[in-house]
Each structure stands twice: as structure tokens, then as C-alpha cells.
A and B are shown apart, each in its own frame.
Chain A
Amino acid sequence: MSTAEIAIPAPTRRPRALGPLATLARRRFQLTARTPRELFVPLLTPIMFALVIAPALKTALHTSASYESFVAIGTVGLLIPLNTMFSGLSVIVDRISGAQPELLTAPIPRGLLVIGNLLVALAITALQVGVLIAVAVARGIHFHATGTGVLWFVAAGVLFTVGMYGLAEILAGRVPRQEEYIARVPAIAILPWFLAGALFPIVALPSFLTWVAKFLPLTHGLALMRYGLLQDSTGLHAIWGLSDPTAMAALSLAVIGGFALLLTAASIRVFSRSAVR
């Protein structure tokens, strides 16, 4: 090795606006791609629900084939929180043993780090939801989607993912260690799933819990996704009690949109504040 004697080239230029974001997202994607558990583990439980539990319940409860479709959408409501929480875990890993300290000294707004991670969480979630739907279709589960319906489904999925990722970032910013983070995941990712009408309509819950369910973003997300892919507005009706499905869908979309906006803003704030001691 020679002694470092280097002439400094021209001074640094200002980065273009989207360049750093693309760099951060690409970095996160490369790190995730080298951690296969982040890609595949969140898929296991939902696929098991869609392919094993739902058909078993259909047989045991003597329900119709539409119950399989109902549960297949319900499992999307489990997949999204699980995947986003896994993505949040990587934020802690990055902070403790990765290059996050270096990124915090980069000449970019620190919120871009959150947005870069979010973009990758969104892409991976989209891939996983696509796999789940494809597996469900291959298993013989039927959906009745129109072009507009798919848009409702995608909008609900994207906004719910954005909101849940915000929650994961906030949690990652608040807890110092992975163990503490993992201990909180069931309460955030799994408990609401049982209350949000994933396996049965929320009106089957005790009346108090039905009211609680109406305030869960996941309830709105699942109702909207079923409206989109199954043309089934009973979930929306259970929440809003209106007669116009489109109006109810718009209202639920607004709820999820608010959830996404609020938690993204909060996550950027929490991250930026926790980055500075």
C-alpha cells in the first residue's frame, strides 16, 4: 500500500433533487435483496391463510366459495403490516451496525432517508401482494375485478402500506434494540387484523368492538380492497351505513389517505429528531 498522496479534483457539485432519493432507495433495495428473510418470511403466514386456513374454514363452516375470496383479501391485511414491520426492523439494523450514521452526515434532508426506505417497502409489498393474489388465483380462488375496482384496490393497498410503514419507522425510531421492536410487532401488526374484518365481517364482533373496528385504518383498507376486487360493498356498509358504495369507498379512501399522510409526516419528524442528539 502506498502512502496516500492525492490531488483533490474539482469541488463538489450540488446534488440534483431526485438523485439522492434514487440512491437511497437503490441502496435499501440492495441491502434488502441480500436479506432474503425480508422478502419471503412475511409471505409465509398470509399464503398459509389463503391456501390452507381459508379452504379449511370454508369446509368446516359450510360456507360458499366466496369465503375463500373474502379471506384471500383479508390476508392482504396481514401481509402489509408484517412486511412493513420487517422493513422497520432493518432501520434499527442500519442504525446499529449499518451506514446510517454516515447517511446522517450527507448533504440531504434527512427525511429522504425515510422516503427512500418507504419506496422500497412499497415495492416489496407490491411484489408480495402480487404473489399472494397470483397464488390465490392459481388455487382456484375467484376475484371479480374491473379496471376501476383494481384502482380502488391498489389505492387502498398503497395508502395503507404507506401508513403502516410510517408506523414502523416511528417504532424503529423510538426503541433502541431489535428485541424490543419485535416484542411490539404482534400488537401493531396482528391484533388489529383480528378486529378489522379480515376473517369475518366486523358486524359479527360484539357491538363495542364493532365500533372500535370502524376506527381502524385496516378495516377501511380491507373493506375498500374487497370493494375493488370482489365488488363487495358490505364491508363499507358496515362502517358507514350509507347506500352509495362509491361515496363510502371515497370516505374510506380518505381515512386511509389521512392515516398515510399523518404517519408519514410523523415518521419523518421522529426520524429527523432522533437523528440529532
Chain B
Amino acid sequence: MNAIEVTKLSKTYPGGVAAVKGIDFAVAAGEVFGLLGPNGAGKSTTVGMLTTTIEPSSGSARLAGFDVAEEPLDARRVSSVVFQDPVVDRSLTGRRNLEIHARLWGVEPREAEGWIIELAATFGLADLIDRPAGTYSGGQRRRLEIARALVSHPRVLFLDEPTVGLDPRIRAELLEVIAGLRSRSELTVLLTTHYLEEAERLCDRVAIIHAGRIVALDTPAALLAGLGRQLVELRVDGSVSSALAALRDRGVAGEDAFAVGSRVTVPLHGHSSSEAIAAIHDLGLAGAISAREPTLDDVYLRLTGDSLAAAA
């Protein structure tokens, strides 16, 4: 049985804003699944529907077999969320925040006590756990929230943009923590992010979501493989469509070459980068040319016409 099953799920908010438009995906138990897309793509709305805080307009979703609309209490019992914004009781201690979660999710007090100690040690909170959460730094608070989400032994963990707003050092530290969750075969993680390297590093599979629709879904490696092992990027003065046509006529570019603004990206399938650059020079096309390995941003760019980094 899949841990998460989403079928034709849609959400249109009052006022007619269609945030999610009939998406389908399934996440296997133990998988780390990424929803990758810029702000406004529909990631948080999708998580909201899966965590029963947003009512779907149509379609269905199941967590560990429980329908989120028909069996919301059961669906919530098997899942936990780490929210995009900090969500803690600041005046209560870290321990009390964890205890409240444990009680509400039905963990026996004695069991919770030991588990909280273990989690606090694992997440580097042992020295802070009896301090008010309001005194924690941003990174410490994030770690507390992840520890809290794990107190109830969830089968599905939602991490909604967990590293947004954190400085690079704390972000790197937190990515390590999240990467550590992968070792837990029982835990299924749905991670939303607009950071490409997070998706590449952490996720078994990634769904790229754009304007409420999933435009690609595969492993990061497979998504990248679609663009070959290398690509050439050039800036064009003049018509990019003419430039693309010329590159295709010359056999340098295939159908998967694409242009955004004045930037043309050419995945290389049968040529080396030096051959491609030489051909581009022969055509007299470019002012600036570079060759590099493809990234998920290129995948996103090709599928949507927008740069993920710029859109975020």
C-alpha cells in the first residue's frame, strides 16, 4: 500500500483562484518525495489538503490508506507536519511543546518521556529542552519542530519548505538532519521546496509543480538524464527562435533545446561541448557561451519556461 495516494486533487479558493488543478501522484512507504516549484505553484495548498486544513474542491487523497476527507482523524493520526512558518508555543519549554504533541497524538506519557529525551539528544536540543521555545534560535526552533513531528511516530511526515528563511549555516545543518530521516525506512516524507539542491539531495523522486499542475515526476537522476550529461547555454542577440532553428538545422540542438528570454539552452546528446561551442561560433550566434552539467532548474525551465530560482 502506498503511504500517500493523490488522485485528481484540485483546490479552487473562493474568488476563483485555482491553486491546484487535478494532480495525481503516489508515494511509496519509506520514500522521500519532493514537491518542487516556486511560490504560488500549489505546493503548500497540496500539503494543506493532505493535512486536512484545506478542503479539496475535488479529487481524493489517502494517507496510509485513510481518506483525508472521509477519515480525517485517522489521516491526522498517522501524519505530522513541520510548517513553513514557525509554529510553537513560545512561552512553553521545548519539552512541553513535545509533550503536548505526544499527548494529543495518543502516545503514552511514560513512552513519550523516553522518546522525547532520545529525540532531544538526536536533534542537539538536550541542553535547550527545558528552556522556553521563544528563546531558541531559528535553527534550534526548526529542529524542535521536526523533533515534535516525530514524537508521535508518524508514518507520513510533511515538511513544508522547512529551510525557508534560515541562514546558510543553519540551513546546511538542517539539511543534514532531514537527510538523516532517510535512514528510517518506516517513515514516508513529503518535502516541499523551491530549492533545487534540497530536492536533488534529499528526494527519491521529485514532482515538479507549476501553476497548480504536476509537469514532471521522476527521480532527480531521471529528470536530469532527459537533458543529457551536459548542456551549452548561450545568450543570443536577435531572434532566439531563428537561433534555435539554426542550431537544429546544424544538428547541434535537438527538440529539447529551449529558450527563455535571450538565453538559449542546448542539451547535448550526440556532441561534446567543444564541438557544440565550435558549431555555435561558426553560426556566429553567441556573445557568451558556457558549458555545464544540467540541473533541475534546467528541467524546470524547459517544462515551464520559467527559472525556478527567479520564480521563487
**What is A's interface to B at a CB cutoff of 8 Å?**
1-16, 19-20, 23-24, 27, 30-31, 34-35, 97-109, 275-277
| Set A4, A16, A105: member contacting B52, Cβ < 8 A | A105
A183 to B146, CA, bound (A): 38
Instruction: Let me know if A102 and B106 touch, CB within 8 A.
Output: no
Instruction: Let me know if A4 and B104 touch, CB within 8 A.
Output: no
**What is B's interface to A at a CB cutoff of 8 Å?**
13, 48, 51-55, 73-74, 76-81, 83, 87-92, 96-97, 100-101, 103-108, 111, 115, 118-119, 121-124, 143, 146, 148, 150, 152-155, 173, 176-181, 183-184, 186-187
* A1-B55 CB under 8 A given contacts A6-B150, A107-B77: no
A206 to B90, CA, bound (A): 51
Instruction: Let me know if A99 and B77 touch, CB within 8 A.
Output: no
A12 to B154, CA, bound (A): 8
Instruction: Let me know if A20 and B119 touch, CB within 8 A.
Output: no
Instruction: Let me know if B152 and A104 touch, CB within 8 A.
Output: no
Report A-chain residues with C-beta under 8 Å of the C-beta of B74.
Answer: 107
Report A-chain residues with C-beta under 8 Å of the C-beta of B118.
Answer: 6
Report B-chain residues with C-beta under 8 Å of the C-beta of A13.
Answer: 106-108
Instruction: Let me know if B73 and A8 touch, CB within 8 A.
Output: no
19 additional contacts (CB under 8 A) given A11-B155, A105-B80: A1-B123, A3-B176, A3-B179, A4-B178, A5-B122, A5-B184, A6-B184, A8-B187, A12-B107, A15-B103, A27-B92, A30-B91, A101-B87, A102-B81, A102-B83, A102-B101, A105-B51, A106-B101, A106-B105
Instruction: Let me know if B54 and A276 touch, CB within 8 A.
Output: yes
A16 to B83, CA, bound (A): 26
Instruction: Let me know if B73 and A3 touch, CB within 8 A.
Output: no
Instruction: Let me know if B184 and A27 touch, CB within 8 A.
Output: no
* A31-B53 CB under 8 A given contacts A7-B184, A8-B186: no
* A23-B103 CB under 8 A given contacts A1-B124, A99-B88: yes
Instruction: Let me know if A34 and B55 touch, CB within 8 A.
Output: no
* A34-B91 CB under 8 A given contacts A2-B124, A6-B122, A107-B73: yes
| Set B53, B96, B101, B122: member contacting A101, Cβ < 8 A | B53
A132 → chain B closest CB, angstroms: 27
A46 → chain B closest CB, angstroms: 27
